[in-house]
Structure 1
Amino acid sequence: MTTNPSIAALTSRALIAVSGEDWRGFLQGLLTQDVETLAPGEARFGALLNPQGRLLFDLFVIGQGDGAWIDVEAAHREALIMRLTMYRLRAKVQITADETPVLAAFGSDPGAGWIVDPRLPALGWRGYGVAATPNAEEADYDVHRLALGVPGPADWGVEKTYPIEANFDLLNGIDFKKGCFIGQETTSRMKRRGQIKSRMLPIDFDGAPPASGSEVLNGERRAGEVLSGRDGRAIALVRLDRIVDGELTADGQLVRTERPDWIGDAANPPAAA
Structure 2
Amino acid sequence: MPTAILADRAITDVSGPDAEHFLQNILTLDLDALGQNEARPGALLAPQGKIMFDFLVSRSGENALRLECRADIADDFVRRLMLYRLRAKADISKQDQVLVSVSWQSDSAASQTDSTTTVRDSRFPSPVFRHYGVAPAATAGEADWHAFRIANAVAESGPDYALADAFPHDVLLDQMGGVGFKKGCFIGQEVVSRMQHRGTARRRVLLVTAAADLPAAGTELRADGKVLGALGSASGSHGLAIARIDRVKAALDAGSEITAGDVAVSLEIPSWASFTYPEAASAEDA
TM-score (norm 1): 0.92
Q: Does the aligned pair in 2 maintain the 1:115–1:125 contact within 8 Å? A: yes
Within the alignment, does 1:43 sit opposite 2:39 as a pair? Answer: yes
Query: Which of 7, 18, 22 pairs up with 2:14?
Result: 18
Q: Does the aligned pair in 1 maintain the 2:230–2:242 contact within 8 Å? A: yes
Whole-angstrom CA distance in 2 between matches of 1:267 and 1:198: 12
Whole-angstrom CA distance in 1 between matches of 2:154 and 2:82: 31
Q: Does the aligned pair in 2 maintain the 1:55–1:156 contact within 8 Å? A: no
Paired position in structure 2 for 1:215: 220
How far is 1:216 from its partner? 1.0
Q: Does the aligned pair in 1 maintain the 2:160–2:217 contact within 8 Å? A: no
Query: Which of 37, 50, 56 pairs up with 1:54?
Result: 50
Secondary structure, counterpart of 2:83 in structure 1: helix
How far is 1:131 from its partner? 4.1
Paired position in structure 1 for 2:144: 140
How many residues are treated as equivalent by the alignment?
268
What aligned pairs does 1:136-175 form with structure 2 within 5 A after superposition?
A: 136-153=140-157, 154-175=159-180
Secondary structure, counterpart of 2:167 in structure 1: coil
Secondary structure, counterpart of 1:75 in structure 2: helix
Within the alignment, does 1:269 sit opposite 2:278 as a pair? Answer: yes
> Partner amino acid for 2:149?
R
For structure 2, list consecutive stretches of 5 or more residues without a partner in the other structure: 113-117
Within the alignment, does 1:247 sit opposite 2:247 as a pair? Answer: no
Paired position in structure 2 for 1:204: 209
Paired position in structure 1 for 2:109: 110
Whole-angstrom CA distance in 2 between matches of 1:123 and 1:199: 24
Whole-angstrom CA distance in 1 between matches of 2:263 and 2:36: 48
How far is 1:57 from its partner? 1.1
> Partner amino acid for 1:139?
A
> Partner amino acid for 1:178?
K
How far is 1:176 from its partner? 0.8
Paired position in structure 2 for 1:101: 99
Secondary structure, counterpart of 1:187 in structure 2: helix
Secondary structure, counterpart of 2:93 in structure 1: strand
Pair 1:224–1:42, CA change in 2 (3 A): closer
Pair 1:225–1:169, CA change in 2 (3 A): same
Within the alignment, does 1:186 sit opposite 2:191 as a pair? Answer: yes
How far is 1:205 from its partner? 1.4
Greater Cα shift, 85-94 or 202-211: 202-211
Whole-angstrom CA distance in 2 between matches of 1:241 and 1:125: 35
What aligned pairs does 1:110-129 form with structure 2 within 5 A after superposition?
A: 110-113=109-112, 114-122=118-126, 124-129=128-133
Q: Deviations over 1:202-237 (max 9, x none)?
A: 111133322322221112122221222231012111
Q: Deviations over 1:141-169 (max 9, x none)?
A: 10111112221222121100011011111
Q: Does the aligned pair in 2 maintain the 1:40–1:65 contact within 8 Å? A: no
Q: Deviations over 1:74-109 (max 9, x none)?
A: 111101000001111111111111122111101113
Pair 1:219–1:29, CA change in 2 (3 A): same
> Partner amino acid for 1:110?
A
Q: Does the aligned pair in 1 maintain the 2:49–2:188 contact within 8 Å? A: yes
Greater Cα shift, 186-195 or 213-222: 213-222
Q: Deviations over 1:159-193 (max 9, x none)?
A: 00011011111121111111111110111110101
Greater Cα shift, 237-246 or 21-30: 237-246
> Partner amino acid for 2:259?
T
Whole-angstrom CA distance in 2 between matches of 1:229 and 1:148: 12
Pair 1:228–1:42, CA change in 2 (3 A): closer
Whole-angstrom CA distance in 2 between matches of 1:175 and 1:270: 27
Q: Percent identity?
A: 36
Greater Cα shift, 122-131 or 58-67: 122-131
Pair 1:211–1:138, CA change in 2 (3 A): closer
How far is 1:242 from its partner? 1.8
For structure 1, list consecutive stretches of 5 or more residues without a partner in the other structure: none
Whole-angstrom CA distance in 2 between matches of 1:86 and 1:46: 18
How far is 1:130 from its partner? 4.9
Pair 1:269–1:37, CA change in 2 (3 A): closer
